[in-house]
Amino acid sequence: MDLQILSQKSILEKLIEEKLKPYVKKIDTDAFYAEGFLRKLGEAGLLSSLNKSKKEYLLNEMYLVEETAKVCMTTAFCLWCHLAALTYVRQTKNNKLKERLLSSLEKGEILAGTGLSNPMKYYAGLEKLHLSAKPVEGGYLLSGVLPSVSNLGEDHWFGCIAGIKEGNDIMCFVPCNAEGLKMKEKIDYLGINGSATYACSFTDVFVPDEWVLSENAKEYVEQIRPAFLLYQIPLGLGVTQASITSIEKVCQKQNGCNQFLKKQPDDLRAIEHDIQQKLQSLFNGDSLNFRDIAKIRLKAAYLTLEAVQESMLHNGSAGYIQDSAPSRRLREAYFFANLTPTVKHLEKVLNG
């Protein structure tokens, strides 16, 4: 391991210890948004793709998500949102947009969300497209409602896809302060309420050509989907590892009766290790195969659900307290299973 990687790991550990751990309960119970932690990651250079290959920055950033998810998956999910948005800007051919925003996004000066839950379901044949676009001079007018977009704030941006009545769908990058855009915060979820999630209502929002990521959204989604999905897998792996650790801590509880439960830490760790191996092997080829990534993402979702349930069983009544770490991870895992692409979405893609 070279000195640069060691230094980055040390910086990340320090940021998690100082800027995230003290706020985990507040994030979970009071819908606190750990914006400061996300900005510090960028400020520390941990989101920079400068002088890195695509493989290098993908692996580096997947590690950031995994380590964050061990402590707080809500914040790791926000980080995933930002990384997905970074992917949109990194891969666009709109150089004006890239020159304006990429550096600021990587430095954490600007944070961003994804906005692609509905379009991903649309392209899989699960939903209709919620946004429409009308071509006008110098750009488009967008109308419609996105029910849930996360990691948003007054000065944040997010990606979205809108359909044109006669023509291709377009993919745009829109600031939260755009005229005609109204946002309503959503904090009534079972968990992850500290994810800065909003319903976004568009009423003739003018999107200039400089904000258009692609004028062929379907084709563009094919390009960004691998990274979009890869960044999600460490969300589950981080929660799984934290659950295994929590099981090990209570192995002697009640005179060691946990040994009689059918699933033990080694069983879970073996599956987690297999997923990690498969994840690493994806990078051995020249390109990333979406179906291979989807299979790993689905396996990670099922493992995460199993790991948090076992953690609840092993922890017993101590885990059945509303703000306990095992119950928080249980709620996080159910969110992960329903994060687009959901378990049923992935099952349809892979087996439908």
Stated pTM of the model: 0.96
> 123 and 90, same structural domain?
no
Res 285: pLDDT = 80
> 162 and 142, same structural domain?
yes
SS3 1: coil
pLDDT above 50: residue 19: yes
Kind and range of the H or E run holding 143: strand 139-149
Which domain CATH number covers 238? 1.20.140.10
Domain limit, last residue, from 111, 128, 146: 111
**In this structure, are residues 266 and 95 in contact, taking their beta carbons and an 8 Å threshold?**
no
Kind and range of the H or E run holding 97: helix 95-106
Q: What angle do CA 131, 291, 237 make, to 5 degrees?
A: 90
> 347 and 318, same structural domain?
yes
**In this structure, are residues 308 and 239 in contact, taking their beta carbons and an 8 Å threshold?**
yes
Range(s) of the domain holding residue 144: 113-217
Q: Flag whether 29 is in a domain.
A: yes
Query: What whole-number distance in Å separates Cα of residue 289 and Cα of residue 273?
Result: 21
Lowest mean pLDDT among 8-17, 99-108, 228-237, 256-265: 256-265
Q: Flag whether 269 is in a domain.
A: yes
Query: What whole-number distance in Å separates Cα of residue 293 and Cα of residue 298?
Result: 9
Kind and range of the H or E run holding 234: helix 233-249
Query: What whole-number distance in Å separates Cα of residue 92 and Cα of residue 173?
Result: 10
> 328 and 255, same structural domain?
yes
pLDDT above 80: residue 316: yes
Q: Flag whether 105 is in a domain.
A: yes
Question: Whole-number mean pLDDT of the chain?
Answer: 95
pLDDT above 90: residue 280: yes
pLDDT above 90: residue 122: yes
For 30-80, the three-class secondary structure string (H helix, E strand, C coil) is HCCCCHHHHHHHHHCCCCCCCCCCHHHHHHHHHHHHHHHHHHCHHHHHHHH
Cβ within 8 Å of residue 41, ≥6 positions away: 12, 15, 47, 64, 79, 108
Residue with tokens 């751990």: 21
Q: How confident is the model at residue 2 (pLDDT cuts 50, 70, 90)?
A: low
Which domain CATH number covers 60? 1.10.540.10
Q: Flag whether 226 is in a domain.
A: no
Query: What whole-number distance in Å separates Cα of residue 268 and Cα of residue 285?
Result: 28
Q: Flag whether 162 is in a domain.
A: yes
**In this structure, are residues 60 and 67 in contact, taking their beta carbons and an 8 Å threshold?**
no
Q: Flag whether 261 is in a domain.
A: yes
In the chain, the number of structural domains is: 3
Count other Cβ atoms within 10 Å, centred on residue 338: 14
Q: % helix / strand / coil in the chain, to the nearest 5?
A: 60, 15, 25
What percent of the chain stands above pLDDT 70? Answer: 98
Mean pLDDT of 170-187: 98
